[in-house]
């Protein structure tokens, strides 16, 4: 069934499932068990969509390697999930805020103050893409549980017209969003425990997929060494200790020596590793990293 502007009741995410018909009669323990049971189906639904997810991430990674950006577009809960995922990239990978960011229907105030009518404003969705100066190197991921949100569909249509790589992430099948995106991703989560409340399973599915996008794209850009976040910004006590552990582990030196070198480099993890492991100066370490695009492994293992 193709969903355009038809009856929302036909969407799987809007369906009332008999399993949850007596929700208001259940005890807290029963409710928690039912929700947990429902949540366990989400990773399987995401797994079933991996053949759609993988090529989209590969294409996004390739464009970012040529200078492109990763942009999420959504309204309501999907928009907020996009904001959350994008906001984690600077502290995790030391990326500039403009490299991975989210466009939210209704603007920044809608993140905390619901602006439900904003999702129906198709013109605003297209205008937001123009305002962000989306171009051919960018990847734009439209997120809509129903797959029919006018704001998101218009944004994806405009981004595609401008030559950007477009991804449509929805939680129903055969959606309008899938029809307009170059890379459709449909996570068939089925009915929600609370009928129509797509902040539940659908929201979880969206965050799992965005986790993959942001993390895998950054790994492919050389932002990690193994599974270590060597590009993190150590802006607090916890992160500084994590930086010390990473440098000590990779360079195979005592933590005290790792800590002293990090202070010397103003907590540049990768430069500190090279200084300790290869016995070079900070300037030489920075030069080695620059020569290989900031990737620690080739800088460390190369001649």
What would the pLDDT profile of 203-230 be if each residue is shown by its tens digit? 999 999 999 999 999 999 999 999 999 9
Task: Write down the domain spans for the chain.
Answer: 8-220, 237-301
Closest alpha carbon to 126 in 172, 164, 94: 164
Q: How far apart are CA 82 and CA 143, in angstroms?
A: 8
Which residues, other chains included, contact 199 with Cβ-Cβ below 8 Å and sequence gap of 6+?
A: 77
Note the pLDDT of residue 99. Answer: 98
Please give the class, per CATH, of domain 237-301.
mainly alpha
Q: Identify whether 88 is a catalytic site residue.
A: yes
At 200 the pLDDT is 92
8-220 placed in CATH 3.30.200.210: no
Q: What is the mean pLDDT of residues 176-198?
A: 93
E strand or H helix at 286, and its extent? helix 282-291
> How far is Cα 144 from Cα 303, in angstroms, rounded to an integer?
48
What are the Cα distances from residue 299, in Å, to 102, 109, 132, 213, 303? Answer: 33, 43, 35, 26, 8
Whether 108 has a pLDDT exceeding 50, the answer reads yes
Per the residue annotation, which of 14, 30, 62, 88 is the catalytic one? 88
| Segment 233-253, tens digit of pLDDT | 888 999 999 999 999 999 999
Q: What is the pLDDT of residues 257-296, one digit of tens each?
A: 999 999 999 999 999 999 999 999 999 999 999 999 999 9
Q: Reply yes or no on whether 119 is catalytic.
A: yes
Res 1: pLDDT: 33
Which tokens in the block code for residue 154?
Answer: 């218009």
Structure tokens at 131: 């305002």
Mean pLDDT of 137-153: 96
**Whose structure tokens read 């928690």?**
32
Of the residues 119, 157, 186, 192, only one is catalytic, namely 119
Mean pLDDT of 185-189: 96
- Tokens for 236? 């607090």
Q: Is pTM beyond 0.85 here? A: yes
Q: Could you say which DSSP state residue 230 is in?
A: T
Tell me how crowded residue 212 is: count the other CB atoms within 10 A of its CB: 16
In order of 74, 139, 206, 208, 219, the CA distances from 64 in angstroms are 21, 8, 21, 21, 12
Asked if residue 3 has pLDDT above 90, the reply is no
Q: H helices within 118-254, ranges in order?
A: 122-131, 150-161, 176-180, 201-220, 237-251
């Amino acid at each position: 069934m193709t969903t355009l502007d038809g009856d929302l009741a036909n969407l799987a995410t809007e369906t009332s499932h008999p399993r949850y018909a007596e929700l208001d009669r259940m005890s807290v323990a029963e409710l928690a068990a039912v929700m947990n049971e429902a949540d366990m189906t989400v990773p399987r639904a995401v797994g079933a969509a991996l053949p759609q997810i993988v090529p989209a991430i590969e294409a996004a990674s390739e464009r970012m390697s040529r200078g492109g950006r990763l942009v999420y577009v959504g309204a309501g809960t999907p928009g907020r999930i996009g904001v959350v995922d994008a906001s984690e990239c600077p502290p995790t990978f030391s990326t500039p805020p403009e490299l991975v960011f989210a466009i939210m229907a209704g603007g920044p105030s809608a993140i905390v103050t619901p602006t439900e009518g904003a999702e129906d404003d198709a013109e605003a969705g297209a205008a937001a893409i123009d305002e962000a100066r989306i171009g051919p190197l960018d990847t734009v991921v439209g997120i809509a549980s129903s797959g029919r949100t006018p704001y998101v569909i218009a944004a994806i249509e405009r981004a595609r017209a401008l030559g950007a790589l477009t991804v449509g992430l929805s939680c129903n099948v055969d959606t309008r969003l899938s029809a307009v995106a170059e890379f459709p991703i449909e996570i068939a989560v089925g009915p929600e425990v609370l009928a129509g409340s797509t902040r539940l399973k659908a929201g979880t599915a969206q965050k799992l997929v965005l986790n993959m996008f942001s993390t895998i794209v950054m790994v492919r850009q050389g932002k990690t060494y193994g599974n270590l976040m060597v590009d993190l910004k150590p802006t607090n006590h916890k992160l500084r200790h994590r930086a010390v552990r990473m440098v000590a582990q990779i360079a195979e030196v005592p933590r005290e020596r790792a800590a002293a070198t990090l202070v010397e480099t103003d907590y540049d993890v990768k430069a500190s590793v090279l200084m300790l492991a290869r016995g070079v100066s900070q300037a030489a370490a920075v030069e080695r990293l620059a020569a290989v695009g900031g990737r620690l492994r080739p800088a460390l293992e190369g001649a």
